[in-house]
């Protein structure tokens, strides 16, 4: 996929792996939306990355937030060619039976539902155009469970499974799907 002049949407773009992805994509000539729940953090990162970076607020757990972010980004940068579902949360080491239901639900909402919401928001347009690519960030914990990270491992196994299924589903439409571990 030739990246020059195309548009990427990176969740968790305000820092860490997301900011690194954004920087690498800008180096390859893309316009990049750094989507993050912390808009100020995303704006600071976008300012560092220059004119091809744009910050947008998103709560990956909320469908309406996705719709608003998509509309805002596409109005300014055009259709999204590359979606990087990167936003995620983890915890300190914690036994699964000591993980509160509320914390478990939050991990699943951000790490699993957040990825699904991105797919739901952008995949239909990519299918209709017959091109695009989706990258979902998992973890080695999505391949090999690690004690004291049971909730996180469960969420990343879900991302791995969802991505593998999506790759099969979108291939006939010319849309690529990858997992970042």
User: Active-site residue among 9, 149, 152, 157?
Assistant: 152
- Contact residues for 62 (Cβ-Cβ < 8 A; gap 6+): 117
Radius of gyration of the chain (CA): 16
DSSP assignment of 89-144: ---SSB-GGGS-HHHHHHHHIIIIIHHHHHHHHHHHHHHHHT--EEEEE--GGGTS
Q: Distance (Å, rounded) from C-alpha 15 to C-alpha 60?
A: 15
Concerning whether 120 is annotated as a catalytic residue, the answer is: no
Helix, strand or coil, per DSSP, at residue 146: coil
Q: Distance (Å, rounded) from C-alpha 76 to C-alpha 172?
A: 29
Q: Which two tokens stand for residue 154?
A: 């469960």
Known catalytic residues are 152
């Amino acid at each position: 996929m030739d990246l020059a002049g195309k548009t990427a949407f990176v969740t968790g773009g305000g820092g860490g792996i997301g900011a690194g992805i954004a920087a690498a994509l800008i180096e390859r000539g893309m316009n990049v939306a750094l989507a993050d729940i912390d808009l100020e953090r995303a704006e600071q990162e976008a300012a560092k990355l220059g004119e091809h970076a744009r910050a947008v607020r998103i709560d990956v757990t909320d469908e309406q937030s996705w719709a608003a972010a998509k509309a805002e980004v596409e109005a300014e940068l055009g259709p999204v060619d590359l979606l990087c579902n990167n936003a995620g949360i983890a915890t300190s080491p914690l036994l699964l039976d000591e993980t509160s239901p509320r914390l478990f639900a939050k991990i699943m909402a951000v790490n699993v539902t957040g990825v699904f919401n991105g797919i739901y928001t952008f995949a239909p347009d990519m299918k209709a155009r017959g091109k695009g690519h989706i990258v979902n960030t998992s973890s080695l914990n999505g391949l090999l469970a690690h004690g004291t990270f049971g909730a996180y491992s469960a969420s990343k196994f879900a991302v791995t499974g969802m991505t593998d299924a999506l790759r099969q589903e979108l291939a006939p439409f010319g849309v690529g799907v990858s997992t970042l571990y």
